[in-house]
Amino acid sequence: MTFVRDDLRPLRRRTALFLAVFALAFAVIAFRLFSLQVVQAPTWRKLAENNRLRRLPLEAPRGLVTDCTGRVVMDNRPAFQLLLFPEEMKDPERTVRFLVQLGLADEGEVRARVARARRTSHLPSVIADNLSWAQMAAVAAHRADFQELAVHPATRRAVPAGPAVAHLVGQLGEVSPAQLAADSRLRPGQLVGKSGIELAYQEVLGGVPGNLVVVVDALGRQVSTLDEEPPKPGHPLALTVDLELQTEAAEAMAGLVGSVVGLDPRDGAVRVLLSEPSFDPDLFAGHLEPARWASLVADPLKPLQNRALQALYPPGSTIKPIFAAGALADGLRAPAHSVYCTGTATFYGHPYRCWLAGGHGHVALERGIEVSCDTFFYRLAYEAGIGRLAAWAKRLGLGERTGIDLPGEAAGLVPSEEWSRRTRGHPWYAGETISVGIGQGPILVTPLQLAVAYAALVNGGFLVTPHLVPGGGKPPRPTGIDPAVLATVRRGMERVVAGGEGTARRLASLPVPMAGKTGTSQVIRKKEGVKWQELPWEQRHHALFVGYAPPAEPTLVVVAVVEHGGDASAVAAPVVGRVLAKAFGHDVEISTPQLLLANPHAQPEPTPPGARAAQVAEVRP
Amino acid sequence: MRRLDLAMLLALLPILVCSHLLQSSTARALAQPAYASRQLLWLVLGVVLLLVVASSDYRLLLRLAPLFYVVSLLTLAAMLFLAPVRAGTRSWLVLGPYTLQPSEFARVAAILAAAALAASHQRELLAPRTALQVTAVVAAPALLVALQPDLGVALTYLPILVAVLWLGGLRWRIWVALALSVLVLAAAAWLWYLKPYQQERILTFLEPDRAPAGAGYQQRQSRIAVGSGGLTGKGLRSGTQSQLRFLPAQDTDFIFAVWAEETGFVGSLLLLGCYAAVTYRLFAIALAARDRGGTLLAAAVAVVFATQTLVNIAMVVGLAPTTGITLPLLSRGGSSVLATCLCLGLTQSVWRLRFANL
């Protein structure tokens, strides 16, 4: 190879051309840099921020709820939520498959939750709360594959007292669109009170959620905290309820259907508020599974209903002291006025039977209450007419809401001629008045209303507003009933327990003196000569008892209603007896005819939450 | 020394400083502190090599080109059988803690050989036969590299061919024939050589929203890094895209994005300007060369250097598909730094000897 000095001009010409081409290319790159870094910079900067910043909601721990002695009714425990960041989801189908494999819920539900999360795409959504350790481990193991998912510490409502207070404390649920619109402090997906104390005192217990802005790296790991706005925890709330009595009532009502209400007659403070059957309040501590919800709703025993203030029953004989007080106060009866009971009385050409077939003989007012003579009260009703019966019932608070600080209370029904025409479309039948006289027919009360009415009978004639928080409720309203009248009625009620013929005399053996009134309300008309034990469960009468103690200066009124309990003195009175005895420091065992009460709808215990999740040992995406 | 092209060295200095700063930044993000110090060693060695080669006589090296070429070809061929498989290719020779990439040095040999071959032909246009020889000389090592397989490096051989053939001069009919054969080759490569992920890269480039989370992820993150740098950048070692590792291959293919994010438009324009200045000096040397061999050698180096720079940055700013072509002197990798310094040293030799007598 030799190198000869030759004409380099064509070579240099072509080289210069190359130089020009590259100069142009450098210019193009420079222009592109200008467009990216100067013109479009804000857009890219926002994308970079989205890359690295995550806004996490910090739920406010809800307030602690205690009973009247400071025992914990409801607090919080740590739990772990699964958050979904919809914007980071690469393939929703793949995410859904993973979540289903985690065992969070069935596929339809998971799909619905993911779809809902995508609607509020700028914020993370809670896909599941209360993750098990296995689920958390599975999410952590697949963090690189599913960067849209994050396990987030949170608190979860814990109700140590369990099903005994389920209706009282109520349920949490996801905030509704209407609530969101009304209160700017609420967040989508946030849990708020939906019933019970949780709803009534949402303002107190709720707190204000906070925010956490964290920097994450490309693998979704939190690198640092940029900004933290801590949540404001909810305020604590002390209730008037006595957890010990509540638990005693629950034990006494085990296996039964009905409710127990305990009230301090002096001011209306609620000591016991129980509804059976109940449910595990933990089911409602987080985001409820629709399947669980559906099974609770479909249960024929309606476990979600708070029977203490939502169920309506004919009061049966428990209405008798109320009418007795009315009759005495209005002068329709003197305490000594006596009626002769043969076992049957005839009004408007129809026979009305007393519950005691042989009759009670001469019955005055006090004994009428003691033996619960129907004939005495048939006669009273006949003379008073429906108008006055209704007035007496209303004077003691029946037919209207008590005003308790819990949502969903029923108003009950006190009938009138006008009510009959308007609601039923036919005139009031005179014979119905006679039935109403013994608490049957179209007169309906809630257990709570009964408790309020009896409180007025024993507190000197004041209508109290039942309340769950000390100092709550409106001031007691006087009914204007003369103390002497009330004294007469109370003597009758003392004889119910203490009297030789008292319908609840079995309670006389208890260490705590008490008084009260039994009541049996018909579900269907009882056939002659059939014992209640032989009837199918659904056709048995409801058993009621209202008791109070001490008889002289009562500090506690307790109502027990046992649906289809059959016999008030054998079934309902012992429940009240146990609760009253407990309130005054005595543990008593009173056997209720449990075997006879077996109801056909009794269901096995639901699977405890978490049991299913625990089965997920290993999950692959 | 005094007869070296100081302008080029002046333009190189900021690039070398940037290189070290960036390697420290990414080494921190990747938690690999050894990367930065090792790269600094390569840079120092590179500068020494540059000066050594600059003080040699390029004409002698051009005469020895066939020897270098044959040695490099044999090495590349042996690589296919002897080199260990790393990251799916047989591209590296392992020497203790260091690895060498012979394909980088073979490219220098190919430049020398192609330039020597074309320079030996003194007419205004290359004879078709010489053109074929040049093509074969460049294609042979490129094919061996492609077989490793290392498409990114193999592609960097292509500018040599274009540069030497264009500078040597061809009839337009031959250019048409070449263009057609390139098309045929490209089609064949698409069908038989490219792996699905490589095909996906090209499709993604042509249609950026095709798969934002898949193959488009790298390019998207790169553009976010560059764009979010804004006018003045986020500050050295403060780039969120790189420090939080959203940016892939930040120490190699996408290193320019780190610089653009951390120093903004001002910084990236300065760095781009340095590369442009080096490119300009390379062409200036080619134009000043005293003989055909020097011109061809310097121009080929200029074209290879500038093409690699432009294709890499174009990829970073989303103007070219992801190819795996690194940015000379900035991307991490000792062989690349040394080979680049070798080339730059050759052109310095051309510059130094531009007035020398025969």
A42 phi and psi, to 5 degrees? -60, -40
Whole-number pLDDT of residue A102: 87
Structure tokens at B262: 């951390």
Q: Which of A10, A30, A34 sits opposite B124 (nearest CB)?
A: A10
How high is the mean pLDDT of chain A? 86
Say how far apart CA A285 and CA A159 lie, in whole Å. Answer: 9
pLDDT beyond 90 at A567:
no
Whole-number pLDDT of residue A602: 46
> Coil, strand or helix: which one is B320?
coil
The tens digit of pLDDT for each residue in A318-356 reads 999 999 999 999 999 999 999 999 999 999 999 999 998
Residues of A within 8 A of B249 (CB-CB) are: none
The tens digit of pLDDT for each residue in A21-67 reads 999 999 999 999 999 999 999 999 888 888 787 777 788 889 999 99
Structure tokens at A296: 């609770």
Whole-number pLDDT of residue A618: 32
Say how far apart CA A346 and CA B171 lie, in whole Å. Answer: 132
**Tell me, what DSSP letter sits at residue A569?**
I
Residues of B within 8 A of A7 (CB-CB) are: 124
**CB contact (8 A) between residue B310 and residue A29:** yes
The structure's pTM equals 0.67
**Tell me, what DSSP letter sits at residue A68?**
T
The length of chain B is 358
Full DSSP string of A198-241: HHHTHHHH--B-EEEEEEE-TTS-EEEEEEEE--BPPPPEE-S-
Structure tokens at A415: 């009938």
> Coil, strand or helix: which one is A536?
coil
Percent of chain A with pLDDT over 70: 90
Return the HEC string of A253-282. Answer: CCCCCEEEEEECCCCCEEEEEEEECCCCHH
Q: Are B4 and B346 in contact (CB under 8 A)?
A: no
Question: Please, which pLDDT band fits residue A528 given cuts at 50, 70 and 90?
Answer: low
Say how far apart CA B40 and CA A325 lie, in whole Å. Answer: 103
CB of A225 less than 8 A from some CB of B:
no
- B interface test, pick of A7, A8, A11, A17 with most B CB neighbours within 10 Å: A11
Question: Please, which pLDDT band fits residue A451 given cuts at 50, 70 and 90?
Answer: very high
CB of A530 less than 8 A from some CB of B:
no
B180: CB partners within 8 A, 6+ apart = none
**CB contact (8 A) between residue B244 and residue A25:** no
Mean pLDDT across A482-498: 94
Residues of B within 8 A of A45 (CB-CB) are: 227-228, 230
**CB contact (8 A) between residue B264 and residue A26:** no
Output the CA–CA distances (angstroms, integers) from residue A356 to A321, A371, A434, A569, B102, in the order listed.
Answer: 19, 9, 17, 14, 114
Number of helices (H) and strands (E) in chain B: give both, helices first: 15, 2
Mean pLDDT across A245-254: 92
Instruction: Tell me which of A535-539, B37-41, B308-312, B338-342 is least confident.
Output: A535-539
What residues pair up with A313 in beta bridges, in sequence order? A445
- As to burial, measured by CB atoms within 10 angstroms (0-12 exposed, 13-18 middle, 19+ buried), residue A474 is exposed
**CB contact (8 A) between residue B116 and residue A1:** yes
Instruction: Tell me which of A480-494, B107-121, B195-209 is least confident.
Output: B195-209
Structure tokens at A268: 């209306």
Return the HEC string of B79-139. Answer: HHHHCCCECCECCCEEECCEEECHHHHHHHHHHHHHHHHHHCCCCCCCCHHHHHHHHHHHH
Whole-number pLDDT of residue B210: 53
Number of helices (H) and strands (E) in chain A: give both, helices first: 20, 21
Say how far apart CA B62 and CA B293 lie, in whole Å. Answer: 8
**CB contact (8 A) between residue B227 and residue A37:** yes
A280: CB partners within 8 A, 6+ apart = A162, A163, A166, A606, A608, A609
**CB contact (8 A) between residue B229 and residue A26:** no
Whole-number pLDDT of residue A598: 45
Structure tokens at B351: 């510059």
Structure tokens at A133: 């350790």
Cis amide bond preceding A574, omega within 30:
no
Say how far apart CA B145 and CA B72 lie, in whole Å. Answer: 11
Task: Chain A: give the shortest CA distance to residue B245, in Å.
Answer: 5
CB of A45 less than 8 A from some CB of B:
yes
Q: Are A11 and B295 in contact (CB under 8 A)?
A: yes
B205: CB partners within 8 A, 6+ apart = B219, B320, B321, B322
Q: Which of A1, A19, A52 sits opposite B63 (nearest CB)?
A: A1
The length of chain A is 621
The separation between the first and the last C-alpha atoms of chain B, rounded to the nearest angstrom, is 21
CB of A24 less than 8 A from some CB of B:
no
Instruction: Tell me how many degrees the CA angle A273-A276-A282 measures, rounded to the nearest 5.
Output: 85
Structure tokens at A28: 């193009």
The tens digit of pLDDT for each residue in A360-413 reads 999 999 999 999 999 999 999 999 999 999 999 999 999 999 999 999 999 999
The tens digit of pLDDT for each residue in B34-80 reads 888 999 999 999 999 999 999 999 999 999 999 999 999 999 999 88
**CB contact (8 A) between residue B279 and residue A5:** no
Cis amide bond preceding A550, omega within 30:
yes
pLDDT beyond 90 at B142:
yes
Nearest CA in chain A to B245: A218
Question: Please, which pLDDT band fits residue A605 given cuts at 50, 70 and 90?
Answer: very low
Q: Are A605 and A303 in contact (CB under 8 A)?
A: no
Output the CA–CA distances (angstroms, integers) from residue A225 to A46, A53, A55, A87, in the order listed.
Answer: 19, 9, 10, 20
Q: Which of A6, A34, A45 sits opposite B228 (nearest CB)?
A: A45
Enclosing H/E stretch for A192: strand A191-193
**CB contact (8 A) between residue B163 and residue A18:** yes
Residues of B within 8 A of A218 (CB-CB) are: 244-246
Select the more confidently predicted residue: A291 or A259: A259
Q: Which amino acid, one-letter code, is at B55?
A: S
Question: Please, which pLDDT band fits residue B99 given cuts at 50, 70 and 90?
Answer: confident
B264: CB partners within 8 A, 6+ apart = A37, B229, B230, B231, B232, B233, B234
Residues of A within 8 A of B245 (CB-CB) are: 217-219
Nearest to B329 by CA among B97, B119, B22: B22
- As to burial, measured by CB atoms within 10 angstroms (0-12 exposed, 13-18 middle, 19+ buried), residue B30 is middle
Task: Chain A: give the shortest CA distance to residue B351, in Å.
Answer: 15
Residues of B within 8 A of A26 (CB-CB) are: 272, 275-276, 279, 310
| A31 Rama class: left (phi>0) / alpha (psi -120 to 50) / beta | alpha
Say how far apart CA B346 and CA B64 lie, in whole Å. Answer: 13
Say how far apart CA A593 and CA A564 lie, in whole Å. Answer: 13
B145: CB partners within 8 A, 6+ apart = B76, B91, B103, B106, B153, B154, B157
Strand ranges inside B255-310, DSSP E? none
Whole-number pLDDT of residue B214: 53
The tens digit of pLDDT for each residue in A59-79 reads 888 999 999 999 999 998 888
**CB contact (8 A) between residue A3 and residue B293:** yes
pLDDT beyond 80 at B291:
yes
